[in-house]
Structure 1
Amino acid sequence: MSARFGMRFAQQTARQTSSTASRTPFQFRNTIFRRYQGTAANPAVEGAPAAQQSIFQRLWTSEVGIRTVHFWAPVMKWGVVLAGATDFLRPPEKLSLTQNLALMATGSIWTRWCFVIKPRNVLLAAVNFALFIVGTIQCARIFLYQQSQKGTEGALKEMEKDVVAPAKKLETKAEQKI
């Protein structure tokens, strides 16, 4: 008999057992689950040895498996990391320093927190560390751009002293002679 728990399976089982007529649907469902626990039809129960379980069954029954938020939160958060990484293509003058500082802070705080919580979630720690790295790179790009702008402004002031000021003096002398 297959281990499918669909409507057709429940109807067939209800016809086969006459004692289930007096039970409520909830009790009936518990009877079906108890019947198949620990058998070859369902080796993914807690008492079954890990060697008999396939990789998918171990992922399915794990504390941080694919049925839990511990798996799907990091998967969805990779979208934030990719969005931050696509900003590598943008010029630094169009980047937001506060946004990237927030990414950097979020990544660092939550990376630490992922090792404190139980169960320890390494997938979430990895995505948060990547978020911290992306924020750090973007903040470094912004700071380097701002430093280059300050250097450019200083160079312009020196050029004004060296070139523009004498040119203005020559211009005023030429106007006086005319």
Structure 2
Amino acid sequence: MSKLYNAVINVADKFVPNHLRPLWMHPAGPKTVFFWAPMFKWGLVIAGFSDLVRRPVELLNMRQTATIAMTGLVWSRYSLVIIPKNWNLFSVNLFVAITQGVQFIRAYNYQLTHRDEN
């Protein structure tokens, strides 16, 4: 698999414009897993934004949203202490923490206002 990947990268190298070379050659750039793993994680952020609009508050699990928000914060911190600093990893995890934090607040407020009904 790595031979195929390297062949694709070698072909792509020829088409990268000069002004994008610094990004392309960066230790956490598109030639590495350090770029692609956070890129795919943006799917969690998109799902979180979708849930903010579509998921009824009574179906939210406070433990789950709190856990995902906390892991977003932990990984945000981690992305700033590793070498090379991975700003893409930082931003995706910050957005995961924010979206899940908002979901947690929604669920908490729902629990407070409907405590007497249960």
User: When the two structures are superposed, what TM-score results if normalisation uses the length of structure 2?
Assistant: 0.79
The structure 1 residue matched to 2:77, chosen from 112, 123, 146, is 112
Instruction: Give the letter for the 1:91 counterpart.
Output: P
> What is the root-mean-square deviation in Å for CA atoms of aligned residues?
2.2
Residue of structure 2 equivalent to 1:94: 59
| CA distance in 1 between partners of 2:28 and 2:85 (Å) | 8
Residue of structure 2 equivalent to 1:85: 49
Query: 5+ residue gaps in structure 1?
Result: 1-5, 7-41, 45-52, 155-178
1:153 counterpart SS class:
coil
1:66 counterpart SS class:
coil
| CA distance in 2 between partners of 1:61 and 1:79 (Å) | 25
Alignment deviations for residues 33-54 of structure 1 (CA, whole Å, 9 cap, x no partner): xxxxxxxxx8x9xxxxxxxx71
| CA distance in 2 between partners of 1:104 and 1:54 (Å) | 38
Q: CA deviation at 1:69?
A: 1.3
Query: 5+ residue gaps in structure 2?
Result: 1-6, 8-13
Residue of structure 2 equivalent to 1:145: 110
Residue of structure 1 equivalent to 2:94: 129
| CA distance in 2 between partners of 1:78 and 1:84 (Å) | 10
Instruction: Give the letter for the 1:133 counterpart.
Output: I
CA radius of gyration, larger in: 1
| CA distance in 1 between partners of 2:117 and 2:63 (Å) | 24
Indicate the structure whose relative CO is greater, using CA pairs within 8 Å and at least 6 residues apart. Answer: 2
Residue of structure 1 equivalent to 2:40: 76
